[in-house]
Amino acid sequence: MNALLNAMVVLLSGLAAQDFQVELKGPAKIPAGTPVQIAIPAGINVKSKTCLLSGAGATNLLGQVIEKFSADLTAKENQQYLVVVMPALSIPDNGATLAGTWMSNDAKSSSPSFSFEDKNPELSQVTLEGKPVLQFVHPVLKDGKEREASYKPFHHLFDNAGALVTKGAGGQFTHHRGIFLGFSKVTYGSNVKVDIWHCKDDTHQAFEKVLLRESGPVLASEKDQIAWNGKNKETFAVEERQLIVYKVPGGQLVEFQSVVRTTGGTVLLDGDPQHAGFHFRASNDVADKTFKETIYLRPDGEDKPGASRNWPDLKTHINLPWNAMSFVLKDKRYTALYLDNPANPKEARFSERPYGRFGSYFVTEITKEKPLKLKYQIWLQDGKIDIESANLKSQFFNNPVQAIMVAK
């Protein structure tokens, strides 16, 4: 705590007069750790990538400027956002105002920030205070025995102590890898059918390039271009994928945004709950050692250890605003909370497996005029989440705090 206070003293020493204001509206009570994304309008002079905000009973809130988000196709090409992780706040009916001040270069260096590190040409990592937080594994496609481990990129997630909690290639069901996206039944062109989940034959996902990297004291964000390749390794769709990890108390919060565009005609995405969509897979040690201790929590309550639900066995297991998997890894219990967004394609058909994988899929078509846009969040915490907390995180993901930036 003393270190934090000392850092704030240094921060304040680098401040100038108030530069702008942020007007808050929306829910009366904001829980601690809620990210708020504020579009920066034309006319605001952005003097720095970071700022401090005070008001509504809060002081010295860090803000960070970021470029437009992948799934926000309505934003202008050069749209910027200010992102703030809120403490617990109560907003009166008539709203509240935060006063904002851009920070000097000297002030910025005093707060711990996320950073990127390219461990090798096929692995990049986000760290915070020397601990790994998130990894992007993007191998180049290889032949023979090495192909299995190289046919699609995915993301590893670490806990607050820097311990890995997700699974890579190999183990039970090698095609399950950390945080990942794919579809087992894809049709494009002249009725060409491929599997971009198991990535059989020529089919594979290929990392092409980094489009954007941003890091600071509030978040780290990486946007990448990924080719979806089918028969004869031809590219039938291109994905723009952005992962954002926020500095929040009590856990890790990762936002997954994706836009998938066809390279030509219509692309049909389909599959089944176990082999399509956006999924999370915990370490293979869960499958090997502790699967009987896995507990699923849902909006209608907590299930018994080892139990699961799956569509279509349960036809009502669709369109959940959230789903949570509490699992045990190395004698420690975690919860991974999966947050869906109402703007994602529906119906969303959910799948759960006690060995550590869960997620949902949908059936949709991609056309030139209608790209696929996706937005999810994964929250990872120590221990078992309670239903009320899960509901709150879902509420503020689906109905974000209304915030408008205005000139002073």
Q: How confident is the model at residue 109 (pLDDT cuts 50, 70, 90)?
A: low
**Nearest CA among 164, 124, 368, 375 for reference residue 284:** 164
Query: Is the predicted pLDDT of residue 16 greater than 70, yes or no?
Result: no
Q: How confident is the model at residue 15 (pLDDT cuts 50, 70, 90)?
A: very low
Among the four given CATH numbers 2.70.98, 2.40.50, 1.10.3470, 2.40.160, the one describing domain 114-392: 2.70.98
Rounded average pLDDT over 315-325: 98
Rounded average pLDDT over 344-356: 98
Mean pLDDT value across the chain: 93
Q: Output the pLDDT for position 111.
A: 78
* pTM exceeds 0.75 for this model: yes
For CATH 2.70.98, list the domain ranges present in the chain: 114-392
* Secondary structure E strands in 68-191: 80-86, 89-90, 96-102, 114-120, 123-128, 131-137, 154-157, 179-183, 185-188
As a whole number of angstroms, the distance between CA 394 and CA 401 comes to 12
Query: Is the predicted pLDDT of residue 381 greater than 70, yes or no?
Result: yes
The answer to whether 251 and 349 are in contact (CB under 8 A) is no
As a whole number of angstroms, the distance between CA 302 and CA 156 comes to 27
Give the tens place of pLDDT for each residue, 243-293.
Answer: 999 999 999 999 999 999 999 999 999 999 999 999 999 999 999 999 999
Q: Output the pLDDT for position 2.
A: 45
Q: Output the pLDDT for position 68.
A: 76
Token pair in block for residue 81: 């956002």
**Nearest CA among 346, 357, 189, 322 for reference residue 265:** 189
The answer to whether 257 and 374 are in contact (CB under 8 A) is yes
Q: Output the pLDDT for position 56.
A: 86
Higher pLDDT: 1 or 383? It is 383
Give the tens place of pLDDT for each residue, 231-248.
Answer: 999 999 999 999 999 999
Helix (H, G, I), strand (E, B) or coil at 144: helix
As a whole number of angstroms, the distance between CA 256 and CA 243 comes to 5
Higher pLDDT: 68 or 173? It is 173
Give the tens place of pLDDT for each residue, 45-66.
Answer: 999 999 999 998 888 999 999 9
Looking up tokens 């993901």 gives: 397
Looking up tokens 């915070």 gives: 128
The answer to whether 63 and 51 are in contact (CB under 8 A) is yes
Identity of the residue numbered 248: V
Q: Output the pLDDT for position 280.
A: 98
